[in-house]
Structure 1
Amino acid sequence: MTLRRHFSAIVAVLIAPAFASAASYDTANFTTEAPTAKLAQEFGEMAEFYRKEKALEWTGREMPQWPRRCPLQVQITQGSAGGATTFTFGQEGGKPVVTSLRMEIRGDAKQLLHSVLPHEVTHTVFAHYFGRPVPRWADEGGSVLSENEDECFSHDVRCRELLNAGRGIRLRVLFRMTEYPRDMLVLYAQGYSVSHYLVRKGGDGREGRGKLLQFLGLGMQGNSAESWNAAASKVYGFDTIDALEESWLTALKNPPARVVARGTNPAGGLASSGGAPRTELRTSAAPTMPLLDPPVRAVRGTAPDREPTRPTHLPPADPTTFGSSPVVRPAAPELPPPALLLPPELPRPVNR
């Protein structure tokens, strides 16, 4: 079975032509192609760094060396950034395993190095840990945890906006999804929010990530309401997924402050005041309705079990059709709007 992650709709159309690469660089697990030899070496070495780091963060041990190098194609462009990773799953010695993989990323070099590449590498950690596709909400949500602070913060804000607009998906439905929902933005934002909550609930850090992996492994056994309820009870102490959902929503009503170092702005640059404390605002105003067009800067997702002949699921393209044949999917039960969720607090400077 092949699993494919696609770029945003615009990038997915542009990716059809082959990547124009001028240099190649081999490491133990990657063959990296990029426009220059320097970039090929930098991205290849960073891919190896993230491969080790993310495996240790999630599983406590490094992945063994892959039997074949993963082709990693890097294209530097302006505008949207995104990645696509293709996995082939099979059996070895009666165990499910990844038999091949291929990775492609494109966008601004800084965004690729610090968000897109670690995101895509995290997908490989999940795939090799389970040897099979991971539930879509967790695969994306867990991988977003590897992105930089600004990306995670924007996903947090977006999730609250979508929930306030009544566009959330009940967790008892989200956890069991094997096809994409009509509202793809919800999958990304809500998947991140729930993954982040469960990691924190499990103790944060390596312990929290390990419990999330345990939760996924138990829930995936049968992928039924009973298996997910049992997983919620065993790992997190909730009687049902509905109880877990209520706790997650309650936690969202009390957003944490986002803290940045004195003398820096939220994007990580130096403050314009030459290092003097910035005056930051904290707001309790209700979030406005989200402006969702054009698509967010970096949108990445897993694909259906059967890979279509062209991207079918990413906004703003119509996710209900591909080719000339309509694909009819039942609408996922929506999550009723909770009491108004405030956005996370704006950054406040702290001394180091």
Structure 2
Amino acid sequence: MTSKSEFLEAKTTVDDRAVNRRIRDRFLAALRERADRSDGPVRVLELGAGVGSMISRFAAWDGTPDSVRYRAVDVDPDVIAVARDRVPRHLMDRGYEITRDDTAFREDAAAQRDATTRRGDRFVATTAERTGDPDRLEISLEVADLREVSAEADAVIASALLDLVDLECVLPRIRSLLADGGLLYAPCTYAGATGFAPAHPLDDRIERLYHRHMDEVREQPGSSRAGLDLLAAAPAFDYEVLDAGGADWVVRPMTVGENGRGDPSGGTNGEYPAMEATFLRGLLETIDGALADFPADVLDPADRKRWVEARRTQVERGECSMIAHHLDVLMRA
């Protein structure tokens, strides 16, 4: 069974490829504009930060503001524990110098008042010379629920999160945390399509039931059409949609030319990049668990088992490809 932390780490490279560059660049340009009008660091709040992949991604992007105060929160203490170890290592690999400093956020009185701050960790990442990365990145990793967060932010990042929440509850709460003209950047918001190759006779039925489970069965809120729902709901909650674009997950086995190994005549070597086989296994576990909630008169357990086992076998053989449709959305309060 794939743990939550393992799944989140495994999908890092999938998310890296999926990022819509146009939306990202517009987000960073808007952050720089805010930095130019501010005397202090740009304040970024990430909700549902998981194992910290977005922090590392943000630090690697060209065009970020010189000074950023990045507050990352998640309700799960286990994933924050992984992030505490993982994020500093990744930043050091990029050439940052890491300093553990509990006073780094002393100017942010609201953050200091949050009791959840004491359940996390703080450190400062600095670079000696300007490379396009932030010169100074003050990072706070915290165990917190959205309802517990009170500090104002110039931007909120909600990556792969808004398809797992009730938008009517969460959008106004995020709006209350944003400074005037603040940004909501919501990359990797699910938008209603998951497909596998090679084709299987049960594919269409499995996808329909997987989406039905998201919309009607699971206890967790959210929607299989969350990306489109977000665009439709934004005006009602006083957001202006600045831009939106596709950000699809695409996972497939590498060819020989992509990793430089194997028979020079070409073909497929049956290996997935990085930890992406683990990602596919975890995704299949999620789909299998969702399908198992349906009674036999809706989905025969034998059909479910046949489809899942076929996909698992293909993954182990390096024969399975997958695509899932997401939207990256940028909005302004």
TM-score range, shorter chain: under 0.3
Q: Which has the higher helix share?
A: 2
Indicate the structure with greater strand content: 2
> TM-score w.r.t. structure 2 length?
0.24
